Amino acid sequence: MQLIFATHNQNKLKELQQLMPPGIVLKSLNDLSYTDAIDETGKDLTANALIKARTIYQHFGQPVFADDTGLEIAALGGAPGVHSARWAGPECDARANVQKILKQLEGQSQREARFRTVIALILNDKEYLFEGSVAGQISRQPTGTEGFGYDPVFIPEGQQLSFAQMSAEEKNRISHRGRAVNRLLEFLNSTYEQIR
């Protein structure tokens, strides 16, 4: 069975291809030459994941999943949340996003935060949702060179290192996206015989 991952991010694709059950071939939007922008106009992560999945499902008529991720900071009332990628402006500049967060938290002792990922899967006209989250703290300065986005300032609960100081394997074992993907994979593994 071919399963479309509604992303242009080849690193995400490669990571997930290695985890798929035998018999499921994962394709990205790049593989399918789909270049149209998808407007993520949802009010929350679930809505945006569904917008992406529904858009691609309507276009190709094949099983598809999409994800959306946000960083939710308690002292900022849950922001940036659904606006995480564009927090410092429409350019989606990760470094600028991190600097804006650190400036907003200057002098703040309350630095609790959580990363949350929602995955929307559409299979045989049915929609399924899978969620993963990880609690942690926002550090006072960026550390590490791995990962992407807010990883240099996010220290997961019970850890001393930021996500950006961990290897991909270490991060995936405990990350929000890793947890959501594991739930997706459990579902695909348990239903593969019925859906193929």
| pLDDT of amino acid 12 | 77
Task: State whether the Cα torsion 152-153-154-157 is positive or negative.
Answer: positive
Active site residues: 68
32 vs 28: CA distance, rounded Å: 7
pTM: 0.89
Q: Tens of pLDDT along 132-150?
A: 999 999 999 999 998 788 9
* Three-state DSSP state, 26: strand
Residue 194 has pLDDT above 80, yes or no: no
Ordered alpha helix ranges (H), 87-175: 94-104, 168-174
In the predicted model, what is the mean pLDDT of the chain? Answer: 91
In CATH terms, the fold of domain 2-195 is Maf protein (3.90.950)
Q: Tens of pLDDT along 75-123?
A: 999 999 999 988 998 888 889 999 999 999 999 999 999 999 999 999 9
Residue 196 has pLDDT above 60, yes or no: no
Residue 192 has pLDDT above 70, yes or no: no
Report which secondary-structure segment, H or E, holds 62. none
| pLDDT of amino acid 172 | 85
| pLDDT of amino acid 195 | 53
Residue 191 has pLDDT above 80, yes or no: no
Note the Cα 125 to chain centre separation in Å.
Answer: 23
| pLDDT of amino acid 168 | 83
Of the chain, the percentage scoring pLDDT greater than 90 comes to: 70
Average pLDDT for 34-47: 92
Parse the chain into domains and list their residue ranges: 2-195
Strands 2-5 and 64-73: parallel
Computed on alpha carbons and rounded to an integer, the radius of gyration of the chain in Å comes to 17
**What's the CA angle centered on 104, arms 100 and 107, to 5 degrees?**
135
Instruction: Look up residue 53 and give its two tokens.
Output: 């999945």
Q: Which residue has the tokens 């790049």?
A: 30
Is pLDDT larger for residue 148 or for residue 54?
Answer: 54
Residue from 90, 66, 86 nearest 12 by CA: 66
- Read off the pLDDT band of 67 (50, 70, 90): very high
Does residue 109 contact residue 149 with C-beta atoms inside 8 Å? no
